Every structure is written in structure tokens, then in C-alpha cells.
Structure 1
Amino acid sequence: MRFVPVVRIIFIAALLAAGFILFAIGRRSPQDLPWTRLDLGAPIGLFTGRKVATLTENAPLCRALLDRAGVRYMTLTPRAEGAHCGHSDAVRFTAGGSRRIAYAPRPPGTSCAVAAALAMWEWNVVQPAALRHLGRTVTRIEHLGSYNCRRIYGRENGNWSEHSRANAIDITGFRLDDGHHVTILKGWDGAPEEAAFLREVRDGACKLFSTTLSPDYNAAHADHLHLDEAKRGIAGWRTCR
């Protein structure tokens, strides 16, 4: 019985120490804590991806975060196509604001959550990786689109793709400020600096999107990165290949 007070003191001390550590983390890196508010302008933290995924269920908050981060966009008219396809919270980037990258062939119409993740990906991953490996900035991201009423891999049966809800985008390449063109198809196993750049933007996407699929996944993704915000990301379940 003599040891009970000692154990209690140790337990209380451990709780106080843990509380102090969490307080310090919250002040210096709030993005590393699960209960702090998402800030699109902050660095990527341990729980950023999960917080972005929750935006699939809160479009008003998502748009407010885009506004706060200075991202210019237009909201798209809701669309319904059959029982499984359509979108109700899609947005499209417009010129100006905090974003400096153009999209080709045109700015995609994606779910707001995907748009939020793309903005953070540009700021925190794509541009730093381009400077580090290629010595240049990216001026354009090329893609195959977002909304597509289809099942996964276009199968006649099976689960519906996140594309069927504009909750995904397929990225095919990047244009640099000197005109150089880096594509997933040729660069993934191409020049060492291009391969390193593409893998870094893939790995960075894994921290922001619920699903990130690259040429390392299968032949169907040999020419693009598939990025989506599937709702399983809310629970922290992510796919990164």
C-alpha cells in the first residue's frame, strides 16, 4: 500500500508532461494535432490529410477555407446523372488569388475537397519539389479531367469510381517556367531528376489525398497520377502506391 501514492504521483506527472507536450505542439505546429482547425495556408501536418477528407462532408466549410486561403474559384451547378453519378459541391479554379499554376486543357471541375488538396499540394509539394530537383517552377499542371460517370477502371460491374462524383483527378504532367515538359509517362523512368521530382510529388500527394495511385501501382496508371478524396480518408485509411 505504501507504493500507491508514488504510483499516483508518477501517473499525474506523466499526464502533466503529456499535456505540456501537446500544448507546445499545438502552439508551434497545430497541423500535427487532430482537433485543431484546418488551415490551407499552413504546412502539411500529421492530420492534414484526414482534415481535408472531412471536407467531403462539409462543403460550406471547404469554400470558406478556400476563401480564407485566397484561392479564387467558381461554384459549379449541381449535376445528377443516374443513381450513382453527379456532384453537388464542385468548384472550378479561376485566375488569380494565391494560386500561380494554370491547369490544362482547362481548370478542372472537382469536389471542393479535391480543390483544397490540390491547392495545398501546389504550395507545399509541387513547387518545392520542382525547385529542388529541376531548378525551375511549375507554371502548368496537365490532367485528364475529374468528373466521369463510370465504375473503377471502366468495368461494367464493381464499385463506382470517385470520378463519378468529381471527387478525383488524374494528373498527366507538368510544364515548367522555361517551357520544359515533364510527363508521368516518360519521366517516371526517365531522366533521374525528372523521376525524383515525380516521385516526390506522388509521395507528397499521399499526405493530402485519400488515394494516390501512380505507375508503381499498375499499368493502367502508367501515364497519370490518380488523386481522390474517398471518404475512408476521414478515418485515416489512405492508399498510396
Structure 2
Amino acid sequence: MRSTIMILCFIALGVALQKGVIEVPRHWAPWAPLYVDDPITPITQLKLKRLNDNRQACLAALDTVPESELRYTPLADYAPTDSCPLSNVVRMQSSSVRFNQSFVATCPLALAWVMYERHALQPAAEEIMGSRVAQVNHVGSFACRNVYGRESGRRSEHATAEALDVTGFQFESGQRVTLLNHWEDDGDVGEFLRAARDGACDTFGNVLGPDYNAAHADHFHLGMRGFRLCR
């Protein structure tokens, strides 16, 4: 009896949605386009994953960033090495931050970064540090290798440009912060780094940092695989 009632409720809900009786906000609707400034919800990561094989929709989402606040170049699919072909990729030059160097990223990774920056990173910087992030320092996104550089095993997210390794931040105030030197800080800097880590979990599939293992003692690994793996 209970299962019958539930089925009828779902049918009624579906009819109401179809006829527009109930209007679902865009950021809660899995079928709606993704806009970078829409509020982050549990649906956001699902939308990002659906863009893996939809270059046009992903680029359209990137283009919802206000003009002049993002510089990127769409790239044709190519293979830097025979064993690591790249598809649906862009080159990120700058956003609301400078990067110490441009980097190649899958379009969903670039989109996840921009959303993270706007919804979590910059708000945390302003609230905790009293200054916006001016530059993000990283050690790259693409490397044709297995996890941890092992000779065998599964391919790293870096082999498909689905992850970015961030080592530190420079603020508009001039202050520089690195994970290697400041993760254990018990003041504002440490609080900011932990907030930066936690905020990334809402858009990236996996976020690994110094608390995960020694291999990540000096950087945040921000990757697209998985769902809210936050360590």
C-alpha cells in the first residue's frame, strides 16, 4: 500500500513539473543549463559531470562568466603523447585571479574551478584574510602518468587533464601563502587554507590535501572524478 502511494506521488509530481504547476529553480533542476553564478547545490556536481561529453554546453556555461572576468581558449582534441589523448579541453589563462602559468584543463574542470573561485575561494579570502586572492600558484594539470607515477595501475586524473594541483595563493595585500609552510598555522592563514579546501568539495569530485597523505603535503589536488571525496 505504501509503495503504491509513493508511486502515485511521484507520478503526480512528474505531471505537475511537466505542466509547469511546480517550478523548479534552475540551480536545482538537473536538466537546466549550468550558470556559474547560480547557487551551489547537490545538483551542481551532477551537472558538471554531464558536461564531460558535451563540449558545446560546457563552453556555453563558461561563457556565463561576466565579460572580462575570464580568459580561456577552447582547444581541439589532441594527443600530447600517444597514450594520453585529450578531449573537450581548454587552456585557462586567467579568471578573477592570475595563474603562475596557464594550464590545459578539461572544460568541466575549468568550469568547476571558476565556480569554486567565485562561490568559495574569494569569499573565504575576503572574510578571513581581508583581501582577495590575486594569484593562484599551481604545479600543473596535465601529466601523462599513472597514479603517484607508478609503473602500473590506473591512470591519474592528470593523464586526462581532469585535475589541478594548487600549491599556494598570493593576495592583493601582497601576502603569500603556501600549503607546505602554512597548513599547520593556527591563525587566520591556516583557517583560510582549511576553508579553501572545504569549499572546493562542493564543485570538485575529489579534493586531496595535506591531511590525506604525505604525497599531498604541499598541494591541493582538485580533481573531477568521484563525488565529494574531501580529505
Question: Normalised by the shorter chain, which TM-score bucket?
Answer: 0.7 to 0.9
RMSD: 2.6
Residue ranges of structure 1 left out of the alignment (5+ in a row): none
- Structure 1 residue 240 and structure 2 residue 230: aligned? yes
Q: CA deviation at 1:37?
A: 2.5
Q: Distance in 1 between matches of 2:168 and 2:79?
A: 30
Q: CA deviation at 1:147?
A: 0.7
TM-score, normalised relative to structure 2? 0.85
> Once superposed, which parts of structure 1, at least 4 consecutive aligned residues long, lie more than 4 Å away?
none
**Could you say which residue in structure 1 is the equivalent of 2:119?**
124
Amino acid at match of 1:92: R
Q: Distance in 2 between matches of 1:218 and 1:23?
A: 47
**Could you say which residue in structure 2 is the equivalent of 1:80?**
79
Q: Per-residue CA shift, 1:125-163, capped at 9, x if unaligned?
A: 111001111111100011000110000000011100010
Q: Distance in 1 between matches of 2:208 and 2:220?
A: 6
Q: Distance in 2 between matches of 1:196 and 1:85?
A: 37
Match of 1:154 among 121, 135, 149: 149
Q: Per-residue CA shift, 1:40-72, capped at 9, x if unaligned?
A: 121211211221122222122111111122333
**Could you say which residue in structure 1 is the equivalent of 2:173?**
178
TM-score, normalised relative to structure 1? 0.82
* Residue aligned with 2:52, SS: helix
* Residue aligned with 1:48, SS: helix
Q: Distance in 1 between matches of 2:84 and 2:71?
A: 26
Q: Distance in 2 between matches of 1:191 and 1:180?
A: 17
Matches within 5 A, 1:1-241: 23=22, 26-27=24-25, 30-70=26-66, 71-82=70-81, 84-94=83-93, 99-104=95-100, 106-230=101-225, 233=226, 237-241=227-231
Higher-strand-fraction structure: 2
Question: How many aligned residue pairs are there?
Answer: 220
Q: CA deviation at 1:94?
A: 3.6
Q: CA deviation at 1:91?
A: 1.0
Structure with greater contact order relative to length (CA < 8 Å, sep ≥ 6) = 1
Q: Distance in 2 between matches of 1:102 and 1:82?
A: 28
Q: Per-residue CA shift, 1:160-186, capped at 9, x if unaligned?
A: 001011111100011001110111111
Structure possessing the higher radius of gyration over alpha carbons:
1
- State percent identity of aligned pairs: 38
Amino acid at match of 1:80: A
Q: Per-residue CA shift, 1:99-140, capped at 9, x if unaligned?
A: 321001x12111111100111111111110011111111000
Amino acid at match of 1:39: Y
Q: CA deviation at 1:82?
A: 4.9
